[in-house]
Structures are given as C-alpha cells and as structure tokens.
C-alpha cells in the first residue's frame, strides 16, 4: 500500500494525529491510510506559506508562467498514476479519470498564459494614474470529493500564478490524489509555495478562521459555504465560493429527442451525476415528453455499471455511503408520491456504493427529487405546456449555478437562456467549463468567479498608483 504524506515547507510530513483510512467506493476496501494533521501542523503550513510569500510575491511574470508549465510537465509525466489514484478513491471509470488528469494538465497550461493587466486610467502632461493587481498573501483551498484533482488545480494554479502561496486541504474522502499533486508541485516549486494538510477534525474550520490566511477558495455545499463566511469574518478574508446547484434544463417543443438524448444524458449523469454544474432537473414540453423520457431511458440502459478499473465500464459508483443513502431516499420519496421510475431506481446488490442511472418521470416542482440537489445518478423529468411556465419553474430555486435550453433554433434558445437565473447558461449543451470563460453562481450558489482573467483577478487586490509628474 502506497505511503501518502502531507507537504509542509517543502518536506514530507506525517500526520501528528495519526492516520485515517480512505475507501474505494467500488469495493469498500481500504485504498490507503491518509495522514491526519493537527491544528499545530496547520499553523506550520500557514507559516511556511507566509515565509515563501515574502519573496514569491515579487517573482517575475515570466518565472510564474515557467513554474506552471513545469508543474504541468510533472502532472503529465505522472498521468497514469494520478488517474489510477482518482479511480481508486473517487470511483469514476478510468476513461473519465484520464479525462480529469488531461484536463488538469490543459488547465494548468492555460492558467500559465493568463495575464495580470496594468490599466492606465490617465496619462496626461501632468499626471499618470495606473491600476496594478497585487497578490493577497496566503490562500486557503478547500476542495470536494467529486473532481478532486481537477478542482485542486482550479484553486492552486491561479493562486500561485498571481503571486500568492497556498495551503490546500482536500476532502477526507478523496485526499490521496491531491497529496500526490502537491508532492509533484514541490518537486519544482520553492519550499512553502504549496502546502497540504489533511484531516476532518478541526482542519477545515481552522483554515476558515486562521488569521494568517487572506483568502479562501471553496467548492462544496451551500451550508459549508455559509459556515466559511461566518468564520472568515474576523479578518475579512476574501472569498470565492462555488456552492451547490440544482441546474435546470428546458427542452423546447422543436427539439428532436433522438438527436439530443445522448447529450442530455451525458451532461446530467457526468461523473454519475456528482458534478456541481450537471443538469439536475429537465423540463420537457408536453408534445415530446414521452419520447424524451423513452430516449433517455434507452441511453441509461446502454451504460455498463461497475468498478472503474474494469475494462468497458462506463458508469461507476456513488462516491460514499451517505450520498448513496440520500439518492435512494429521494427516489423512494418520488416513488411513494406517484412518480414513474423508468429505469434503475434502487441500489445494486453486493459490495460498493452502486446505483444505476435512473430516470424519474411524472414529478413536479414541490417534489423532493426536483427541489433538492440529488448530486447523484438520478434525473427527474418534468412536463410543461407553456414556455413561460417552464422558465418560472426553472427559476423557482434558491440556487443558480447553471442552466440550459435545448432546441433546433439556437438563436431562439439563446434568448430564452438569458432569462435563466444562473451564472452560466448553455444552449444545446450543459456542464461545459472552459479555462478562458468565467464560471460562478448567483443566489445561494455562491459568489466570485473562477477561470479566465476574471477568475485570476479574484486572487488579487487593486492598487492605484497616482503619479504627479
């Protein structure tokens, strides 16, 4: 069994509070033991990051770019190992883990090429006024269990690209690939630039409240995001919060179910539905409702559910037992209230947290399966007769991460998409994130954006230089 360690100030560190087991959700067997940090070790990590920041904040643009490309090289050299770790601790099929690693490499290189501008507001005979972007200091990164490697890259790379240093805390359910990523970063980065701490006992809240941390970037649930806001108030930490979503998709009557079923299915069940911006509620017009449901069930039936390490598997387990129980509970509630379960609908027998792709028909807003984010392999399909009704139902949520409109008329769909209350609206697609396009939510889905130059600026503060000539 591979030994995993934290990295603090460029050195491998064991957990002062021992270790905890990380399980494979496909087998429920132990993958590895993960070090459990103490609060004192968190303090050491923040101190190391602060010490590195004293020089890194003055590093050149060229040096920062070069470092990110070196990190991308290290990820690429170890891609097979990282993909194996992702499958073993997260559960997704190998092809999807390989896509995650490939995405992490591409995202790191794209972030390397972003620029921090100097804006000139005035340059007259007597005065020049410039706006510079300065790093904030130590950034705390808290990442979830669904895309553990990719989201760690999303947090860490723009932080160091903009001149900050990092303390990274991955989910206790999937910490291993992040520990390995930070180890690879430390092969090429200055000591203390990126540090890792693991453990669920007081470490997350310790990061939130730590006076030495100037910004937190967090991806996860809305209740945890609210707790982070409260903890961050003492020293007015900057926050980027990408929180829960319950994304709605609207299928217009002119859409062809046969043409869009695969796309709808894949964006709803991406990573077994365990994706913040996955399509989680589908509103379909009366005239094509039954056909759309039938086509989605057909695509679901084509999936091969199993251990992600087995060849040919297209659909893995739910990542953890608690999430499996929530998915089961929501489907049973829908069944008890008259919903049609078109396929799937119950956990699979045997070891592992397996739940087959499930299409639930004849549900409405007000049903738990529609109103609550299931974050798992279930898609409720809701019937509508009027587009204004569909928009009202889609927007009747306290979260607003993503949304989509599906139609044979992209121009008309784009007009309707603009009326969705969400941070990103797609036409004839969903859940596509791009390294150059800002991504974030509204309402209770958080605030701040990631990606592109706007995302990079979130890791900086503006300083005006006012020069009298």
Q: Which residues are catalytic?
A: 242, 276
Q: Where are the alpha helices (DSSP H) in 32-175?
A: 39-56, 61-77, 79-90, 94-112, 148-161
Q: How far apart are CA 371 and CA 68, in angstroms?
A: 41
Beta-carbon contacts of 128 under 8 Å, excluding residues fewer than 6 positions away, are 120, 122, 467, 469
Q: What torsion do the CA atoms of 66, 68, 69, 70 make, to the nearest 10 degrees? A: 90
Q: How far apart are CA 441 and CA 40, in angstroms?
A: 34
Q: How far apart are CA 66 and CA 120, in angstroms?
A: 27
Tokens 């929530």 label which residue? Answer: 326
| CA-to-CA separations, 131 to 61, 120, 438, 458, in angstroms, rounded | 17, 6, 21, 15
Residue 234 exposed, middle or buried by CB count within 10 Å (0-12, 13-18, 19+): exposed
Q: Which residues pair with 20 in a beta bridge?
A: 34
Beta-carbon contacts of 351 under 8 Å, excluding residues fewer than 6 positions away, are 26, 27, 28
Does residue 283 sit in helix, strand or coil?
strand
Task: Give me the sign of the Cα torsion angle 206, 211, 212, 217.
Answer: positive
Cα-based angle 111, 233, 225 (whole degrees, multiple of 5): 60
Contact (Cβ atoms closer than 8 angstroms) between residue 194 and residue 160: yes
Pairing mode, strands 378-384 and 358-363 = parallel
Of 399, 421, 387, 431, the C-alpha closest to 251 is: 387
Q: How many Å separate Cα 236 from the centre of its chain?
A: 24
Does residue 55 sit in helix, strand or coil?
helix
DSSP one-letter string for 294-352? HHHHHHHHT--BS-TTSTT--B---SSHHHHHHHHHHHHHHHHTT-EEEE--SPPSSSS
Of 462, 423, 459, the C-alpha closest to 238 is: 459
Contact (Cβ atoms closer than 8 angstroms) between residue 422 and residue 413: no
Q: Which residues pair with 217 in a beta bridge?
A: 141, 240
């Amino acid at each position: 069994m591979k030994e995993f360690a934290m990295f603090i100030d460029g050195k491998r560190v064991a957990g002062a509070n021992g270790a905890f087991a990380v399980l494979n959700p496909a087998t429920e067997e132990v993958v590895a033991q993960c070090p459990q940090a103490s609060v004192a070790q968190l303090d050491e990590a923040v101190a190391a990051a602060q010490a590195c920041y004293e020089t890194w904040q003055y590093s050149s643009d060229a040096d920062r770019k070069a470092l990110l490309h070196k990190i991308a090289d290290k990820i690429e050299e170890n891609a097979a190992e990282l993909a194996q770790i992702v499958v073993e601790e997260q559960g997704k099929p190998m092809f999807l883990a390989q896509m995650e690693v490939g995405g992490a490499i591409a995202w790191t290189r794209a972030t390397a090429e972003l620029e921090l501008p100097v804006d000139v507001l005035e340059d007259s005979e007597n005065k020049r006024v410039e706006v510079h972007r300065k790093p904030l200091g130590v950034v705390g990164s808290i990442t979830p269990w669904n895309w553990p490697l990719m989201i760690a890259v999303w947090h860490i790379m723009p932080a160091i690209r903009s001149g900050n240093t990092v303390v990274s805390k991955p989910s206790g359910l999937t910490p291993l690939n992040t520990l390995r990523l930070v180890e690879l970063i430390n092969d090429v980065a200055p000591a203390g630039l990126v540090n890792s701490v693991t453990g669920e006992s007081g470490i997350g809240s310790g990061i939130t409240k730590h006076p030495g941390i100037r910004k937190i970037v967090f991806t996860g649930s809305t209740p945890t995001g609210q707790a982070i806001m409260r903890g961050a108030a003492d020293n007015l930490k900057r926050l980027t919060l990408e929180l829960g979503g319950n994304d709605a998709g609207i299928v217009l009557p002119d859409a062809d179910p046969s043409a869009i079923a695969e796309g709808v299915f894949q964006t709803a069940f991406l990573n077994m539905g365990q994706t913040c911006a996955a399509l989680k509620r589908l509103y379909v017009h009366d005239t094509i409702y039954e056909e759309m449901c039938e086509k989605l069930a057909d695509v679901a039936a084509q999936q091969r559910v199993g251990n992600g390490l087995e060849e040919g598997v297209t659909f893995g387990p739910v990542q953890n037992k608690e999430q499996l129980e929530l998915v089961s509970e929501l489907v049973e509630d829908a069944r008890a209230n008259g919903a049609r379960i078109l396929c799937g609908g119950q956990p699979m027998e045997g070891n592992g947290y397996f739940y087959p792709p499930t299409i639930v028909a004849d549900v409405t807003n007000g049903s738990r399966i529609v109103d609550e984010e299931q974050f798992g392999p279930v898609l409720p399909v809701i019937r509508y007769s009027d587009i204004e009704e569909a928009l009202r139902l889609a927007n009747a949520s306290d979260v607003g991460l993503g949304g989509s409109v599906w139609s044979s008329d992209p121009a008309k769909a784009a007009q309707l998409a603009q009326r969705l209350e969400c941070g990103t609206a797609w036409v004839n697609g969903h859940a596509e994130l791009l390294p150059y396009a800002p991504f974030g939510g509204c309402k209770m889905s958080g605030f701040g954006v990631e990606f592109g130059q706007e995302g990079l600026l979130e890791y900086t503060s503006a300083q005006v230089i006012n020069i009298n000539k």
